[in-house]
Amino acid sequence: QVQLQESGPGLVKPSETLSLTCTVSGGSINHYYWSWIRQPPGSGLEWIGYIYYSGSTNYNPSLKSRVTISIDTSKNQFSLRLSSVTAADTAVYYCARHFREGAPYFDYWGQGTLVTVSS
Amino acid sequence: EIVMTQSPATLSVSPGERATLSCRASQSISSNLAWYQQKPGQAPRLLIYGASTRATGIAARFSGGGSGTEFTLIISSLQSEDFAVYYCQQYNNWPYTFGQGTKLEIK
């Protein structure tokens, strides 16, 4: 059974960089697309961006100037960096696997990790 | 960006009854729509993709329909575990977007 686990600091100061890692277990990171999605408290879901195991990426234009997603296939991990954070970036951050190539909906999700932006 | 609008925001239904949730896209998305269920403190769970195909392990009481700009999720006979928030998601145009959710609550 594929499992995803987010890890990283739960508190980030304004103007700093948020960094999270998603570790994939129970399956290979190869040959799949992987996404980061976030959910502000009490709100809906926002797609941040995705990465293919080859390293190609696509970012939400609303965040593109601040987002970097990377992948380390040797560790079965992919990562998110979001720079210049503000309180508006406070959210539960999820990592998720695309169903298959050409099917950008998610069959496996991490449990989510709350990141709070505050001084 | 395609805007997904779900209605109603909250739906109150009694167990055993039928629930109909709606999702509208701001432009045509063909059948490139997925539905998710989210319970408090949990990640969303994939229910439906391709507008009408149930994901693996999803009960037959969940059914999806529609194409173009109008979509529905029907839960034919509500069980206690079905009371949750439901989201639609379009994957026709990047950036892929979600609706704001419909909260299904016990009447």
User: pLDDT digit string (tens) for A33-61?
Assistant: 999 999 999 899 999 999 999 999 999 99
Q: Is the pLDDT of residue A103 over 90?
A: no
Q: Which residues of A touch B (CB under 8 A)?
A: 43-47, 58, 60-62, 94, 96, 99, 103-107, 109-112
Q: How confident is the model at residue B57 (pLDDT cuts 50, 70, 90)?
A: very high
Per DSSP, what are the bridge partners of residue B74?
A: B20, B63
Q: Is residue B76's pLDDT more than 90?
A: yes
Mean pLDDT computed over every residue of chain A: 96
Under 8 Å between Cβ of B44 and B101? no
* Mean pLDDT, residues B56-72: 97
Contacts of residue A108, Cβ cutoff 8 Å, sequence gap at least 6: A2, A3, A4, A96, A97
Identify whether the C-beta of residue B9 lies closer than 8 Å to the C-beta of residue B85: no
Provide, as residue numbers in chain B, all residues whose Cβ is less than 8 Å from the Cβ of A101.
none
- Measured in angstroms, the CA of B47 and the nearest CA of chain A are apart by 9
Q: What percent of chain A has pLDDT over 90?
A: 95
**How far does B93 lie from chain A, in Å, by closest CA?**
11
Q: Do A61 and B95 touch (CB under 8 A)?
A: yes
Residue A94 scores a pLDDT above 90: yes
Helix, strand, coil share of chain B (percent; to 5): 5, 50, 50
Distance in angstroms (rounded) separating the CA atoms of residues A109 and A39: 13
- Residue A100 clears pLDDT 90, i.e. is over it: no
Which residue's structure tokens are 């950008």?
Answer: A104
Q: What is the pLDDT of residue A58?
A: 95
Residue A19, strand partner residues: A81
Mean pLDDT (chain B, rounded): 96
Q: B53 - beta bridge partners?
A: B49
**Residue A10, Cβ density class (10 Å: 0-12 exposed, 13-18 middle, ≥19 buried):** exposed
Give the whole-number percent of chain B exceeding pLDDT 90: 99
Closest chain A residue to B56, measured at CA: A107
Task: Please give the angle made by the CA atoms of B17, A45 and A32, to the nearest 5 degrees.
Answer: 105
Which of A24-33, A94-103, A104-113, B11-20 bottoms out in mean pLDDT, i.e. has the lowest? A94-103
Give B86's contacts in chain A (Cβ within 8 Å). Answer: none
Supply the pLDDT for residue A102: 81
In chain B, what residues touch A42 (CB-CB under 8 Å)? none
d(CA A70, CA A80): 7
Residues A67-71 have a mean pLDDT of 98
